[in-house]
Amino acid sequence: MNAKIIDGKAIALEQRAMIRAEVSELVERHSLKPGLAVVLVGEDPASKVYVRNKEIATRKAGMESFAHRLPANTGQEDLLALIEKLNHDSGVHGILVQLPLPDHLDSQTIIEAIDPRKDVDGLHPVNAGYLLSGQKGHVPCTPKGSIVLAKSAASDLTGMEAVVVGRSVLVGKPVAQLLLNENCTVTIAHSRTKNLEDVVGRADLLVAAVGRPEMIRGDWIKKGAIVIDVGINRVPDPQEEGKHKLVGDVAYEEAIEVAGAITPVPGGVGPMTIAMLLANTLDAARGQFQGNPD
Residues identified as active-site: 54, 98, 121
**Smallest distance, ligand NDP to C-beta of residue 186, A:** 15
Q: CB–CB of 17/47 below 8 Å?
A: no
Which residue sits closest to ligand NDP, CB atoms considered?
168
By CB under 6 A, residue 128 contacts ligand NDP: no
Helices (H), the chain: 8-30, 45-60, 76-87, 107-113, 125-132, 141-153, 172-181, 196-201, 252-255, 269-288
Q: Is 44 or 64 the residue whose CB approaches ligand NDP more closely?
A: 44
DSSP letters for 172-195: HHHHHHHHHHTT-EEEEE-TT-SS
Count, residues near ligand NDP per rule CB under 6 A: 25
Pairwise CA distance, residues 276 & 262, whole Å? 20
Among residues 143, 166, 174, 264, the one that binds ligand NDP under rule CB under 6 A: 166
Among residues 147, 196, 221, 284, the one that binds ligand NDP under rule CB under 6 A: 196
Q: Is 33 or 167 the residue whose CB approaches ligand NDP more closely?
A: 167
Angle between helices 269-288 and 8-30 (to 10 degrees): 20
**Smallest distance, ligand NDP to C-beta of residue 137, A:** 19
Residue 11, class by beta-carbon neighbours within 10 Å (0-12 exposed, 13-18 middle, 19+ buried)? buried
By CB under 6 A, residue 171 contacts ligand NDP: yes
Strand order in the sheet with 261-262: 4-5, 261-262, 226-229, 205-208, 161-165, 185-189
In which region does residue 206 sit, left (phi positive, over 0), alpha (psi from -120 to 50) or beta (all else)? beta
Q: Is 19 or 32 the residue whose CB approaches ligand NDP more closely?
A: 19
By CB under 6 A, residue 167 contacts ligand NDP: yes
Q: Please list every residue from 245 through 274 that binds ligand NDP, using CB under 6 A.
A: 269-270, 273
Spell out the residues 6+ positions from residue 69 whose beta carbon is closer than 8 angstroms to its own. Answer: 40, 51
- Helix (H/G/I), strand (E/B), else coil: 105: coil
**Smallest distance, ligand NDP to C-beta of residue 207, A:** 10
Q: Is 153 or 165 the residue whose CB approaches ligand NDP more closely?
A: 165
- Write each residue from 198 to 237 as x if it is in contact with ligand NDP (CB under 6 A), else as -, in one continuous string: -----------xxxx-----------------xxxx----
Residue 102, class by beta-carbon neighbours within 10 Å (0-12 exposed, 13-18 middle, 19+ buried)? middle
**Smallest distance, ligand NDP to C-beta of residue 282, A:** 19
Q: Please list every residue from 30 through 89 that binds ligand NDP, using CB under 6 A.
A: none
Q: Is 172 or 260 the residue whose CB approaches ligand NDP more closely?
A: 172
**Smallest distance, ligand NDP to C-beta of residue 266, A:** 9
Pairwise CA distance, residues 119 & 97, whole Å? 9
Q: Which residues bind ligand NDP (CB under 6 A)?
A: 142, 165-168, 170-172, 189-193, 196, 209-212, 230-233, 269-270, 273
